[in-house]
Amino acid sequence: MELRAHFEDTPRVHGILLVDKPRGITSHDVVWRVRRAVSDRTVGHAGTLDPMATGLLVVLIGHATRLSTWLTLDRKRYLTTVRFGATTHSLDADGTVTAQMPDGTASPTREAVCEAVARSVGPMQQVPPAVSAIKVDGVPMHARVRRGEDVALDARAVTLEAAAVCDVREGECDLDLTVSKGFYVRSYARDLADALGTLGHLTALRRVASGAFTVDDAVEPALLERAAQRDPEAQSAVRARVLPLTEASRAMRTATVDDDTARALSQGKKLPTERDEGVLLVFDQTARPVAVCEVHEGVLRVLRGFGGPWPTE
């Protein structure tokens, strides 16, 4: 009751919070911390990070949660370390080793790694990790794995948009990868190692960008932790870092409309338009979000509304 009262008594925040997730917690753990930090239950995120991973988590608060479908479409950039010679059930360092190369197996050379990475840039078919949040018949794969089920996932079309080899050391390499939605860096480590005639898994993974959002602008883990513990100064600092919904323009096309158009869209009406085709985030003239709309064949229609009220005639 006390927590509910706290939520109800605190002014609501609507916007985007960039968080630098530390290693060892889930994306849901970050959401829980943000809920407490801003005293609002309506919090989600635009793209999961595994517990082992660190870096940018785009957290959506209040009305911003209605944009998750579109904010997850952007490309992501990761810095990662691949360890050669062994693989794990989760394809990362948090997993149990399931296979190892024989003793004395040579580590891939820098030249071989650079050639294999260069060949892999572009569209590809990728099999996601068994330990993942992908749902099969409504159940996440990681839950099925914990139950001992053996469920295979089909390959999916993804794209490695850019890749650079930062360093190659004995038994491992550091990579800088820019990838499409749905790309699993853990699967890439497995497949890269296979192309090099060995086994591999991730030992580090850091997301540094999601579309135009970067980890350089993210809230530090220590500050978020203090805010989650209800430190007033930290809570105020976190709330001040919440980006307004207009900042979604970094990832989505936006448009500003007059009151009559805003009112019509808030009622779900379809309107003629000369705007270019595609998805638009529509605001009224006071920068209040009206709806996510789609322009198709000269018609503007609502995909997701934000509600009113708008002035009546």
Query: Residues with catalytic annotation?
Result: 50
Give the tokens for residue 187: 């699967």
Q: What are the structure tokens assigned to 279, written together?
A: 């998805």
Contact of 306 with 282, CB cutoff 8 Å: no
Q: Which two tokens stand for residue 235?
A: 């809570």
Residue 98, φ and ψ in degrees, nearest 5: -110, -20
Measured between alpha carbons, how far is 52 from 63 in angstroms, rounded to an integer?
Answer: 29
Cβ 306 vs Cβ 63: under 8 Å: yes
> Which pair of tokens denotes residue 285?
């003239």
Whole-Å CA distances, 25 to 22, 55, 188, 248, 299: 7, 12, 22, 26, 45
